[in-house]
Structure 1
Amino acid sequence: MPRQRGFTLIELLVVLVIVGIVLTLSVLQLREPGERAASEAAERLHARLALAREESVLRGQAVGVAFAADGYRFLLPGEDDAWAPLDNDRALAATELPSQLRLSVTLEDLPATADEDGDDDEGDGEDADEDDNGDRPTVVLYPSGEATPFTATLSAERGGAWIIEGRLNGAFELRRPED
């Protein structure tokens, strides 16, 4: 009896599984650039907040975080209730976000960051630029490991948003808004 040509059912199934795996991996890599930038920036901020909390505990000194719509910086308390930027530490140096990303922070459900036009979003008539002390922290990380509770939302112009929630006990949670 002559042998028939063609593929067996097993061979076809193996090829379909391989094609499915390759397509799945390629779809995961084709995320929107803004979504990828938001994800990376949120992970970086989350890691830096945890590092700043540990730094505060090790130094026995509070560390402040000043948030703005276009970035954030870490601060140390100085003399006369002034806060100084922590720029000598590369890991905690001031960070400017890419232009397609925006950061908004709320403290107890009240806006805590200025929007792009410099308004403070609190409706009290004062602009963020009129603040004499531009280096005042939005959030303080205490040497006890505790922190000012806050919610930071990092969003991209075209899709992709991440939320970092800071709790009183010093824990930080990074999540998507849908979660």
Structure 2
Amino acid sequence: MPVALSRSQRDLRQPMRSQGFTLLELLVVVVIAGITLGVVSFRALNNDRQALQSDAQRIALLLQLTRDEAILRNRPTAFEADGDGYRFLVSGAAGWQALDQNDLLRPRTFTRAPLRLSIAPAQVNTGSAATLRITFGREPIDKPFLLTLNAGDDSVVVRADGIGHFSIE
């Protein structure tokens, strides 16, 4: 004769379900986390194009600053660059002097040196054959130009409109 079991006794006789995750579920989560981490770390690393873009952005801002310095000091200033780096100069009684003591306009090296630099339209270069120089006068209006930075197959252009605006292309 079957014995009637109470509800709590019936629950004890049924197999207990585990409250944790299966090994397969854990593996799926680990794979998804690994792929996500890989994508994030890949995007976080600077590639060569981003390094060139960053250098061009910095140069554009510093060109604007040195142009403003020429107007404020009432003396010509210049940007001078070669394939490895760049610096800023100010014209004085003893000729061109580097602005080494200025924190913002100090000499710098390119992140991805050496670079090939070119300017259009071509300007008179008063430096050596391998050095490019852009001179800013005391006047607020200057000639527009394009400064091109090339590294391998990557190229970035700094566009100056002649009235103090510098943009990156």
Q: TM-score scaled by structure 1?
A: 0.59
Aligned to 1:84: 97
Q: Could you tell me which amino acid in structure 1 is paired with residue 156 of structure 2?
A: W
Larger Cα Rg: Structure 1 or Structure 2? 2
The match for 1:152 among 133, 147, 156 is 147
Any residues of structure 2 matched to 1:113-152 within 5 Å, and which? 120=129, 128=130, 138-152=133-147
Q: Write the distance in 2 (CA, Å) between the matches of 1:107 and 1:77.
A: 23
Percent identity of paired positions between Structure 1 and Structure 2: 22
Q: 1:104-123: CA deviations, max 9, x gaps?
A: 12242479699xxx8x3xxx
Q: TM-score scaled by structure 2?
A: 0.62
The match for 1:163 among 148, 153, 157 is 157
Q: Write the distance in 2 (CA, Å) between the matches of 1:69 and 1:52.
A: 20
* Contact preservation (8 Å) 1:63, 1:77: yes
Aligned to 1:40: 54
Instruction: Give the paired residue count.
Output: 133
Q: Write the distance in 2 (CA, Å) between the matches of 1:46 and 1:28.
A: 27
**Which 5+ residue runs of structure 2 have no aligned equivalent?**
1-35
After superposition, the Cα gap between the structure-2 partners of 1:152 and 1:112, relative to the gap in structure 1 and judged at 3 Å, is farther
Aligned to 1:66: 80
| Greater length-normalized contact order (CA 8 Å, ≥ 6 residues apart) | 1
Question: 3-state SS of the aligned residue for 1:161?
Answer: strand
- The alignment yields a C-alpha RMSD, in angstroms, of 3.4
Shift of 1:167: 3.5
Q: Write the distance in 1 (CA, Å) between the matches of 2:126 and 2:54.
A: 21
